[in-house]
Amino acid sequence: MGLMLVCFSSTAPSTLPALFPTEIRYGGLSITFNLFVSAFAGTAATVIGALVLTTGDLDWPGYYLMAAGAVGAISVWLLAESARKPLAGSGPAVSSEAEARALIAERQATARRASRTRRVWSGSGAVIAPGTPPRHSSSPRSTR
């Protein structure tokens, strides 16, 4: 059990703050972490004790840990990787003016590529590329 605690304690300080934007990072982290620790870890003994007394099955602590492990495995699977990427709301971290200029140029090039490939939804339900003139409906309506 100590090994599992080490696995959690070694990754939590870097993983959990990356889940929140910079403006609310530590407030969001502290409220969320403490709320869920209180709700699940704080009530675990009471819930498991009640389940053992109600059912007579002494394996409920194991079932509880297996369910918690399954929830943790699914959470890790769905967690977005944030290594080597700027965190949401963070400014760029550069060590020189040349590196800052290169970063700005790279972001501008990425933005230009994204704007060229972005597609626009037209009123007729067709998807058209930007810069393409819209097709007008040739309905038989009178213009009188």
pLDDT of residue 122: 45
48-69 confidence digits (pLDDT tens): 999 999 999 999 999 998 998 8
pLDDT of residue 60: 94
Instruction: Tell me the one-letter amino acid at 75.
Output: S
pLDDT of residue 144: 47
pLDDT of residue 83: 75
Q: How far is CA 68 from the centre of its chain?
A: 20
pLDDT of residue 118: 54
pTM given for the model = 0.52
Q: Which two tokens stand for residue 57?
A: 């099955």
pLDDT of residue 130: 52
Domain-by-domain residue ranges, the chain?
2-78, 93-121
Q: How many whole angstroms separate alpha carbon 67 and alpha carbon 86?
A: 33
The residue ranges of the chain whose pLDDT is under 70 are 92, 116-144
Contact at 8 Å (CB) between 13 and 29? no
Q: How many whole angstroms separate alpha carbon 10 and alpha carbon 141?
A: 70
